[in-house]
């Protein structure tokens, strides 16, 4: 048991760095995913993950696989897509989901073309799917900083975030925090996607954000409890995914997301609010 579960993380430095990065991503992205789900914006998170690709690709074209240029480019691209899609939805007849879909499809296509112009298929795979086993000190520092900023910001604006999930119109009527909190939250989404991009790539970075949060919904009602459960599921998925990758020579990023997907499937079936509980016949204790 020790050889299978513990030894890989004790013997290899790359496994330790991968585990540390995945754990910090889980802790930072889990609560963000819960609020995405409560706002019914889970697919928006997926769209934003694709939206950062052109910026990261621009950094790659200019400086290669360097952390800082690709990170700055991803942040800029994510902000442009978020603001652009929001402006289109507010100034035209098109709804936000349609404008976001249009923007992210264009961004994804532009990003893939930009990477292909200079890089090889290996570089494209790195950008799209990440290399969690190749995380270095700079990447870990970025991920840790993003996780710290995320948790601090969510603690400070916790009540406003919850209020906007429940009744955004009421929040805007009684407080000036309505619109600022919305954009602060979108900023946290982009930050965590950019951090996750280093480990999981643009296509999978949203996985540790959405899947643990969706699974946590089947176990709790309170927002705080859901956030803690989402973080715990993300941690378990990270550990199990890395172990599967090590023992069975699987790609590490997809293995982590598949582990989170398995946790979601189990939660759907046997969670406190899952299918088996919902479909179980309720016995009546009435006295005739």
For 95-129, what is each residue's pLDDT tens digit?
777 887 888 788 888 888 887 777 666 666 777 77
Residue 121 has a pLDDT of 66
Please give the share of the chain, as a percent, with pLDDT higher than 90: 38
SS (H, E, C) 186-204: HHHHHHHHHHHHHHHHHHH
Distance CA 170, CA 213 (A): 25
| Cα→Cα distances 281→22, 205, 265, 275, Å | 40, 40, 22, 12
CATH number at residue 30: 1.10.3470.10
The number of distinct structural domains making up the chain is: 1
Q: Is 173 exposed, middle or buried (0-12, 13-18, 19+ CB in 10 A)?
A: exposed
pLDDT of 286 above 70: no
**Domain region containing 154:** 2-271
Which range has the worst mean pLDDT, 97-106, 232-241, 254-263?
97-106
Report the pLDDT averaged over residues 64-88: 83
Q: Give the whole-angstrom CA distance, residue 56 versus residue 67.
A: 9
Asked if the structure places residue 279 within a domain, the reply is no
Structural domain contains residue 121? yes
The predicted model scores a pTM of: 0.87
- Mean pLDDT over each residue of the chain, to the nearest integer: 86
Residue 81 within a domain: yes
What distances in angstroms separate CA 39 from CA 57, 131, 182, one per listed residue? 30, 30, 10
Residue 288 pLDDT level (bands cut at 50, 70, 90): very low
Domain membership of residue 78 (yes or no) is yes
Would the pLDDT of 142 be above 80? yes
Q: Is the confidence at residue 138, as pLDDT, over 70?
A: yes
Asked, for residue 276, whether it belongs to a domain, the answer is no
- Domain-embedded: residue 285: no
């Amino acid at each position: 048991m020790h050889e299978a579960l513990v030894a890989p993380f004790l013997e290899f430095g790359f496994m330790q760095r991968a585990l540390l990065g995945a754990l910090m991503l889980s802790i930072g992205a889990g609560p963000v995913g819960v609020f995405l789900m409560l706002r019914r914006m889970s697919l928006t998170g997926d769209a934003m993950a694709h939206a950062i690709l052109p910026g990261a690709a621009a950094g790659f074209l200019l400086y290669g696989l360097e952390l800082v240029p690709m990170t700055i480019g991803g942040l800029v691209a994510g902000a442009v897509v978020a603001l652009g899609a929001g402006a289109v939805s507010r100034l035209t007849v098109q709804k936000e989901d349609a404008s976001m879909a249009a923007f992210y499809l264009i961004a994804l296509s532009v990003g893939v073309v930009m990477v292909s112009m200079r890089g090889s298929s290996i570089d494209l795979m790195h950008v799209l799917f990440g290399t969690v086993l190749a995380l270095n000190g700079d990447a870990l520092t970025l991920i840790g900083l993003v996780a710290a900023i995320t948790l601090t910001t969510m603690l400070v604006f916790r009540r406003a975030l919850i209020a906007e999930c429940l009744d955004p119109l009421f929040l805007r009527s009684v407080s000036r925090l309505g619109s600022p909190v919305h954009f602060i939250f979108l900023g946290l989404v982009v930050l965590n996607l950019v951090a996750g991009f280093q480990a999981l790539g643009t296509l999978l970075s949203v996985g540790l954000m959405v899947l643990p949060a969706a699974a946590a919904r089947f176990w709790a009602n309170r927002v705080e409890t859901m956030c803690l459960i989402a973080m715990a599921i993300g941690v378990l998925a990270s550990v199990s995914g890395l172990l599967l990758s090590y023992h069975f020579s699987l790609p590490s990023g997809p293995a982590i997301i598949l582990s989170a997907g398995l946790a979601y499937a189990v939660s759907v079936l046997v969670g406190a609010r899952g299918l088996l509980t919902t479909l179980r016949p309720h016995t009546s204790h009435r006295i005739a």
